[in-house]
Amino acid sequence: MVCTGNVCRSPYIERRLAAELGETVDVTSAGTRALVGSPIEPGSGKLLGELGISADDFEARQLTADMVSQADVVLTATRQHRGAVVKLAPQGLLRTFALADFADLVDLLPGGTARPGFLDEPDDSTVTRVVRAALRQRGKTQPRTDQQAEIVDPIGQSAAVFAEMGRQIEQVLPPVVRALRG
């Protein structure tokens, strides 16, 4: 999961996905201009706490090309972040999506998850199969506008903006969780 500072959006999504997916999928986050070593912003931490999820041990990390290379999928808070990821690590092009766009694509999957496809290898991870299946859904739905695909950045803002961030994320997470659970 990628955002700018890795202190608001991406750690919130990281912890939410990790809580939903358990140990079946390794979920991490980083920032394109991370506030390296910083804890999660209190507004995001409070929202997670209300869900019974701790972020006490969180520390912001800078995104690297190696992180992108090792990831089965890279989800970003905005399309601009997607562009930054692909610029940093072009090999991640077909595995990098804005979170809202990925949610729309996987929501189109029959049964909400990836069925084995002819390009899949027997040892492919569920995430790899879901990414391939999501790519096959492109063009089958009206894409969101850039603004609709963006998760608002609440850093330095009021509790209301953090709440809006949480609402936007919670709105798009269900199809992603369903698909990644396999």
Torsion angle, alpha carbons of 73, 79, 83, 89, to 10:
-10
Instruction: Calculate the CA 81 to chain-centre distance.
Output: 11
Dump pLDDT digits (tens) for 123-171. 678 899 899 999 999 999 899 999 999 999 999 999 999 999 999 999 9
Name the maximum alpha-carbon separation found in the chain: 49
Classified by CATH at the fold level, domain 2-175 comes out as: Rossmann fold (3.40.50)
Model confidence at 85: pLDDT above 60: yes
Torsion angle, alpha carbons of 68, 114, 148, 157, to 10:
-50
The ranges assigned to domains in the chain are: 2-175
* Model pTM score: 0.94
Dump pLDDT digits (tens) for 33-79. 999 999 999 999 999 999 999 999 999 999 999 999 999 999 999 99
